[in-house]
Amino acid sequence: MLESPSKTALPSTESPTPDALADLLQNPDRLWEAVCDTTDAYVAVIDRSGIIRFCNRVDDGFTRDQIVGHSFVRFTLPESMALLLRTLEEVFETSSPRSLETTVRRPTGELNYFSIQLGPVALDGRTVAVLACARSIRPLKESEQALQRERNGLRRLLEIQERERQLVSYEIHDGLAQYLTGALMHLHACQHAERTEPAARELDASIRLVQAAVDESRRLIGGLRPPALDELGITAAIESLVVDARAEIANVSFTAEMSGSRLPAALETILFRIAQESLSNARRHSAARSAHVRLTRDGGFVQVHVSDDGQGFDPLCVPEDRFGLEGIRQRCRMLGVEPRIESAPGRGTTIEATLPILPPSGVA
């Protein structure tokens, strides 16, 4: 038999009366207790001498007795104490909030990282204490450190790759290319000697083949690592890329505004590879009629810009087996920046990277 609806038990949905809510809002102790219990932050009250007088909770292996009654800077690393004390004094002096990050060593010896907001607690117009709200940012720091390790690993791999390319380039230049050039000189000398018509045809064919081999060796040297990059610098190296690109693109222009001394070798390599990959994509995929390359140095930054009027593409739909654009991104990220890659079907392509001449802090 079904129970009558009138007998069905329902949870109470009664709201606090306006009077009860008003009483609660007039009770700062209850509100303070609720805030301290609810927040995921560590809340502490610090007096003018830097001593912790209250904390809402403890963690990381500490007990309340190890926190309350002790110096606020006791738990941070020695190299961070001065900044923490100075920031605390600024809040007392200016009655304005401040924020900072610091590192705490746990009783186990492990490190934890905190973002701390410090705010004044005023009484009769005078700051009598500071309220500190600290949140652990250890997961964020660990992610940043892991990302930095990956970038450093990528940088080392790219440096090894560049050294190997340089070695192979020099081996071809000093070995194979020299032998081919010598053979070509001897063959040209033979052209002036007396010879029969069949021998002349064979000699001419041999000269064409050896000349093609010389050209191919030069092309390989340029693709691996052009000597101009090491000998003459980034402007000459990019100029060689532009000359090669004119074989497929009728109108390729190049402007350079590079005053001052040569750039660091690692930075020149990154700029060269960005320009090389951008022009290579334009030559192979864009069907462009014109392209422009610009290299500009301005203060502490250098910018490489490559644009074309080709058929363009959707940057979000690049096949997974195409690694050129990703290579550009990763090389830029090693220096803490993102390249600008703009393209759309029928609208050409622009690739631009503005790189710091000195690497940002933390980038080896």
In a shared domain, residues 132 and 238: no
Q: How many CB atoms lie within 10 A of CB 278?
A: 29
The domain total for the chain is 2
Instruction: Give residue 91's Cα distance to chain centre.
Output: 34
Containing 4, the helix (H) or strand (E) segment is: none
pLDDT score recorded for residue 333? 86
Domain boundary among 136, 158, 183: 136
Residue pair 345/312 in contact (Cβ under 8 Å)? The answer is yes
In a shared domain, residues 245 and 128: no
In a shared domain, residues 238 and 131: no
- Could you tell me if residue 10 is inside a domain? no
- Could you tell me if residue 288 is inside a domain? yes
The residues near 72 (Cβ < 8 Å, ≥ 6 apart) are 44, 46, 50, 51, 52, 84, 88, 132
CA distances from 23 to 14, 16, 31, 136 (A): 17, 11, 11, 35
Domain boundary among 104, 136, 168: 136
In a shared domain, residues 363 and 253: yes
In a shared domain, residues 239 and 125: no
CA 243, CA 74: separation in Å to the nearest integer? Answer: 64
Instruction: Give residue 281's Cα distance to chain centre.
Output: 23
- Could you tell me if residue 73 is inside a domain? yes
Instruction: Give residue 187's Cα distance to chain centre.
Output: 53
Q: How many CB atoms lie within 10 A of CB 148?
A: 14
User: Structural domain of residue 75, as residue ranges?
Assistant: 18-136
- Could you tell me if residue 282 is inside a domain? yes
CA 75, CA 104: separation in Å to the nearest integer? Answer: 5
Structure tokens that stand for 5 in this block: 């609806």
pLDDT averaged per 10 residues, the chain (length 364): 43 60 70 76 90 85 85 86 92 93 83 90 90 87 78 72 65 61 70 67 71 66 66 88 89 92 89 90 89 94 95 81 78 88 92 86 51
- Could you tell me if residue 256 is inside a domain? yes
Domain boundary among 91, 111, 136: 136
- Could you tell me if residue 180 is inside a domain? no
CA 95, CA 131: separation in Å to the nearest integer? Answer: 11
pTM, two decimal places: 0.51
CATH classification at residue 319: 3.30.565.10
In a shared domain, residues 238 and 364: yes
- Could you tell me if residue 27 is inside a domain? yes
CATH classification at residue 66: 3.30.450.20
Angle at 68 between CA 62 and CA 71, to 5 degrees: 95
